[in-house]
Amino acid sequence: MLSLPMQTGLCRNCNYALRDLPEARCPECGTAFNPADPKTMNMGRPIGPFAKWILGPTGCPWTLTTILPLVWMLWIFREPGPYYMGIFFIPAVLVALLIASRFVWTFIRMTTAHIYRQPYLPSQGNRRQMILSACVVVTILLVLLKVPLRIGFALSRPAMESFVSELVNEPFKARPPSQRVGIYRMSTTLRRNGSGTIQLHMDGSFEEGFGYSLEQIEYAGTNAGSGGHLTGPWYWFSDD
């Protein structure tokens, strides 16, 4: 028998009650423990896999619930539309949701630790949190600098050039209402604004799209929203 004074705890792995044992090892699952060190045993209530997951390291869920919304944000900002009303609103909502989810998660962990009488350990991984916070800041900067739009357009520019020349040269050819142009889905209806700029609209909206003008222009859209120059004769716009 062990000579150390034995504290009665449960196996951290399988909840077996660790008492009167010939060696410091769970007879049920083989997990070793130290009878003198309460941290090696579960001194609280028996704990199931779900509560164990809640109280365990939270790295992977954290990373996913931060990175996926950021990827989604970069994706929606590939189009001109969100740069008008959404440019500050969408990142602000996202940051608020991320902060709120941290508070909610901390509350759930503290409550679970209390119910199961477990020591509460704050989420570990400060380094990971720093990296994730940096990802949030970088993503917002990329959006403010319109990088997703510029990359999306750069990837689509060759397709966009042949699309516009096809629409101009064969205006009466039968076409489906929309088609894929590079990474975008565009309406095949060509319009011009008051100053004659050719407007290519995103599918399903006549308020956002790309403008084509050989002359330098202020705004490629129809009424003042947001817009700007991309490269060469290309502009982007999102109407009010």
State the amino acid at position 158 in one-letter form.
P
240 in helix, strand or coil? coil
Question: Cβ of residue 30: shortest distance to Zn ion, in angstroms?
Answer: 7
Verify binding: residue 26, Zn ion, rule CB under 5 A: yes
Distance between CA atoms of residues 62 and 99, nearest Å = 12
Distance between CA atoms of residues 227 and 229, nearest Å = 7
User: And the tokens for 62?
Assistant: 């954290």
Identify which of 213, 217, 185, 180 has the alpha carbon closest to the alpha carbon of residue 199. Answer: 213
Tell me the β-bridge partners of 210: 200, 236
Question: Cβ of residue 86: shortest distance to Zn ion, in angstroms?
Answer: 52
Verify binding: residue 28, Zn ion, rule CB under 5 A: yes
Verify binding: residue 37, Zn ion, rule CB under 5 A: no
Verify binding: residue 16, Zn ion, rule CB under 5 A: yes
Verify binding: residue 13, Zn ion, rule CB under 5 A: yes
Verify binding: residue 32, Zn ion, rule CB under 5 A: no
Considering only residues 2, 4, 29, 96, which one is a binding residue for Zn ion as defined by CB under 5 A? 29
Q: Enumerate residues 66-95 that contact Zn ion by CB under 5 A.
A: none
Distance between CA atoms of residues 194 and 223, nearest Å = 10
Comparison of 24 and 95: residue with beta carbon closer to Zn ion: 24
Considering only residues 24, 25, 31, 147, which one is a binding residue for Zn ion as defined by CB under 5 A? 31
Which residues are at the interface with Zn ion (CB under 5 A)?
11, 13-14, 16, 26, 28-29, 31
